[in-house]
Structure 1
């Protein structure tokens, strides 16, 4: 099949009508990308044109943008009246708008010279981490809560306890219990018809019983008022704390005013340049860590762009049905490799134990993504900052381990060289399988 020219219409490149549905476009893309792949008898230019055409019309948003571009473009003087759609022009013609497969957005008037074919990239490297950095800094720059005048403690209901010792309870019981029991017992015996002598004997017995029971009753009374004593002690502590808070309140208000003044300056600096080095040096560690992660992912993506047209990579790929993501997925002749960008200054950059923990996390996310998307992940790579490793890749898990995905640690600046040369122990994947994996990722990969 002829290579689609610069002036080829995206629908014509895919072999579908302009009114085709999104499902029809997807099916056509699967057919065309398979036929255009260099390993299947096509050419690199033809393969690139099919990929660019699908990116232009493969989803409703990009398709609408592509349609607007065609409608808004000036028509050629001899263009037929067909609703303004651009069609293939003569190879030597420079008149009329056309979709440029070398240009991702198909802008009319784009340069006609196709540059050297580059690695195809999907997603925005470091985008989610930068958004997290901005969100954390905005949260840090939010107004703090204004100090309030501390409220006085509320006394407990029921009043204070009689004493903190059992003695007063026993003495009061000894003073009250004998006469009360004497009177009660005398009245009972008198009513029972035992006469005055019986009542007198009952009074004596009641008084004696009261004296005998005064100790146990007093101690029981003491124990029953333990909650009041606890509440009284807590009240004393609250009163002391309230007094200290009142003394500290002026200092809190002064610190609050100073914080507001400082925040105004920080906000102006943040609005002027959210990534200024002097501002980054002051932000909380969590925000600074998010920014370092973003920078590491961007550096890795720049290195991966040097791989060439035989490779494609996806950035910030969400693991389906989870909140996790894989920093980069790289697809090349050896298959699909998951890459984790290790930020400079992190523990994993220098500490083997922390590096092993990062690798375990990448392994779990890569396995989950492979299972959910039905794509084989054949290798794991830790992209480490410069100066940590030597020139050769470090094999963390060998390809001969049947229970582990082969894993490697690579210096970031040499990542493209090692991937292009082939990671140790990995073999080439069949072209048919490579196309199937690529198609699945192009159609189904979602980004954080």
Structure 2
């Protein structure tokens, strides 16, 4: 079970409230065991998730320890995660010149998180610190997801910034009037990449050309949505993207998942964050690296045409 803000808590996995009695917790666990056990046709991954959840809160002692860490009573936090704006980007990993960077990575996602958090807390409720771990952990998962997404975008931006002066990146880019945004546009010698940074708080897999997983809503179509946004952006800028990269935490998938491009649709690759830099530096097999002149020409066109969601 991931420590991402978007990850399901053991109580959410078991389908009970954090205030449920020990008997209610035990009944929920047993019911889920019957439904998820592989011997009765259940899903092995779901069965494993239920087991992990029970290990965390299954006994009074384990539950008390978990609640102290996740739902602390006092204002004192033993370890405060770096959730506040800008803190989630981590430390620089490379000295020297950085990639050219424009826009505000994670800005729109953070704004959405704050809006939903205030709406959930209720009108007139004062929120002294919207990034207090206890508050984040008590919020519904769909709200926590927006904070997790902001952190994911900031993490990607930090990695891209260390690529060096041969690269340029634009963040929180408006794709079109009705097509939302593209998290990152990265230009370098290996090509022009559109990047989606995500963290749904759980593993995903590819099924019929779309990403699915317990952490995603059945109606979610992340690949379809990002393809639409990238097509709209490519048309408005009159450019062709080398590929679309969907970047996830390493624990969300074991290996890259590829949806081959068709017609004007670029190839879409879902990859662990640890592999992002390799793709941006070296490109994709079978695709020629661009020339310096082409990169320079594209940079000028993108710089003139790109608009940001914060504008």
Where on the TM-score scale, by shorter chain, does this alignment land: which range? 0.5 to 0.7
For the pair 1:331 / 2:192, whether they are aligned, the reply is no
What is the CA–CA distance in structure 2 between the aligned matches of 1:116 and 1:415, rounded to whole Å? Answer: 20
1:71-220 mapped onto 2 (5 Å cutoff): 116-143=96-123
Distance 2:286 2:245 in 1: 13
* Among candidates 410, 416, 426, match of residue 277 of structure 2: 416
* Contact 1:303/1:412, CA 8 A, preserved across alignment: no
Q: Do the aligned partners of 1:395 and 1:407 also contact (CA within 8 Å) in 2? A: yes
The yes-or-no answer on 1:281 pairing with 2:137 is: yes
Change (3 A) 1:382 1:330: same
Deviation string, structure 1 residues 281-327 (Cα, Å, up to 9, x no partner): 12233321211111111111112122221111111100133351001
CA contact (8 A) 1:318 1:447 kept: yes
Contact 1:120–1:309 (8 Å) recurs in 2: yes
Rounded Cα–Cα distance in structure 2 between residues aligned with 1:279 and 1:417 = 37
Alignment of 1:374-389 (within 5 A): 374-389=238-253
**1:440 and 2:301 correspond:** yes
Match of residue 217 from structure 1: none
Match of 1:321 among 172, 177, 185: 177
Cα separation, 2, equivalents of 1:389 and 1:136:
28
Structure-2 separation of matches of 1:403 and 1:371: 11
Size of the aligned set, in residue pairs, is: 205
Post-superposition Cα deviations, 1:86-141, rounded to whole Å, max 9, x if no partner, equal xxxxxxxxxxxxxxxxxxxxxxxxxxxxx611111111110111011111112222
Check conservation: 2:145, 2:200, Cα contact below 8 A. no
Secondary structure at the counterpart of residue 139 of structure 1 = helix
**Alpha carbon RMSD of aligned pairs, Å?**
2.2
Do the aligned residues in 2 keep the contact of 1:393 with 1:418 (CA within 8 Å)?
no
1:368 Cα offset (Å): 0.8
* Structure with higher strand content: 2
TM-score of the aligned structures, taking structure 2 as reference length: 0.60
* Residue aligning to 1:397: 260
> Which structure has the bigger radius of gyration?
1
Kept in 2: contact 1:303–1:413 (CA 8 A)? no
Deviation string, structure 1 residues 168-219 (Cα, Å, up to 9, x no partner): xxxxxxxxxxxxxxxxxxxxxxxxxxxxxxxxxxxxxxxxxxxxxxxxxxxx
Find the counterpart in structure 2 of residue 426 from structure 1: 287
Unmatched 5+ stretches in structure 2: 1-94, 213-220
3-state DSSP class of the match of 1:352?
strand
Q: Which runs of 4+ in 1 moved over 4 A?
A: none
Task: Give 1:344 deviation, angstroms.
Answer: 4.0
- Shift of residue 430, structure 1, vs aligned partner: 3.5
Compare relative contact order (CA 8 Å, sep 6+) and give the higher one, 1 or 2. 2
1:295 corresponding residue in structure 2: 151
For each residue in 1:141-180, what CA deviation from the matched residue of structure 2 results, as whole angstroms up to 9, or x when unmatched? 2338xxxxxxxxxxxxxxxxxxxxxxxxxxxxxxxxxxxx
1:424 and 1:393 map into 2 onto residues whose CA distance is 14
Q: In the aligned structure 2, how far is the partner of 1:328 from the partner of 1:344?
A: 18
Give yes or no for contact 1:296–1:344 (8 Å, CA) kept in 2. no
Aligned to 2:204: 350
1:406 alignment counterpart: 267
Q: What is the alpha-carbon distance in structure 2 between the residues aligned to residue 394 and residue 309 of structure 1?
A: 29
The residue aligned with 1:361 is 225
| Paired residue secondary structure (1:345) | coil
Equivalent residue number for residue 340 of structure 1: 196
| TM-score between the two structures when normalised by the length of structure 1 | 0.43
